[in-house]
Amino acid sequence: MGMDFVFWKYKKGIAHNDNKIYELACCDGQTAEELEILPIDKILNKVADVFSDWTKVQTHTYEKEDNGAFEIFTTAQIVRFDCYGMQESSINTLIDILLDFGCPLYDPQISQRFDSWTEK
């Protein structure tokens, strides 16, 4: 069974509407005025560096025996990891990478964004 983890960064002073952003920017792939443009190439390079011991199956798909697999979907404003059978420590590593870019986790499985540390 797979789990999705989504990341974005709101512009300063913008009201947060996480469910709207998830539907609009992540599910529909549309641009959202409320969101910052992310350094997608830097993020993808960081993931590739940190997960260099994983097999790159396709351009944005990684797998490792006994550790599961993940696929990366991006737009200019969001990053989504579709994770399959991954260990919690590997998922936490993905979360930490995006935190380094100021992007907190939105977990669509429970419709919650973990952003209490950000400016709202």
In which residue are the tokens 């260099």 written? 52
DSSP state letters, 27-70: IS----TTBPPP-HHHHHHHHHHHTTTSEEEETTEEEETTTEEE
The whole-chain average pLDDT of the chain stands at 91
Kindly indicate the confidence band of residue 92, based on its pLDDT and cuts at 50, 70 and 90. very high
> Given this model, what pLDDT does residue 118 score?
64
The CA distances from residue 42 to 38, 45, 107, in Å, are 9, 5, 23
CA distances from 45 to 6, 89, 97, 109 (A): 18, 20, 11, 27
The Cα 98–Cα 119 span in angstroms is 16
Supply the pLDDT for residue 30: 80
In the chain, what are the helix, strand and coil shares in percent, each to the nearest 5? 30, 30, 45
16 vs 81 pLDDT, higher one: 81
Percent of the chain, pLDDT > 90?
72
The residues near 66 (Cβ < 8 Å, ≥ 6 apart) are: none
Of all helices (H) and strands (E), which one includes residue 95? helix 88-99
pLDDT in tens, 6-46: 999 999 988 888 988 988 877 777 888 999 999 999 999 99
